Amino acid sequence: MNIAKMMKQAQEMQSNMAALQTELAARTVDASVAGKISVTANGAGDVLSIRIDPSAVNPEDVEMLEDLVLTAVRQAIAKGRDMAAAEMKKVTAGMGLPPGMGF
């Protein structure tokens, strides 16, 4: 493979990755814990919303509510990362990159 072709492929991949990052920021994933806490995140790793069922709020057990929220947030972020990694893998497929180099 000549260097000009490699450079062109690298530029195309960079352009595709930039477009994908924009798309991932617009795509969302949801996570729910115990049917009481729901979190929506995007493929960029941002938490967009948190919904708490009023029945989950117990002033005498705030620690449990905190744990449920934290668990839901972690799950939503993990789902967003997994979605992003799968899409990035598609963009970098066929580029001859070693495993792990394409995200």
CATH topology for 3-92 is Ybab; Chain: A; (3.30.1310)
**What is the pLDDT, as a whole number, of residue 100?**
55
Q: Which residue has the higher pLDDT, 58 or 99?
A: 58
Angstrom distances, CA of residue 98 to CA of 20, 70, 82, 89? 20, 35, 19, 12
Angstrom distances, CA of residue 70 to CA of 16, 31, 75? 33, 11, 9
- Check whether 66 has a pLDDT greater than 80: yes
**What is the pLDDT, as a whole number, of residue 21?**
87
**What is the pLDDT, as a whole number, of residue 11?**
87
- Check whether 103 has a pLDDT greater than 50: no
DSSP reduced 3-state for 28: strand
- Reported as a pLDDT band with limits 50, 70 and 90, residue 13 is confident
* Mean pLDDT on 21-36: 93
Domain ranges of the chain: 3-92
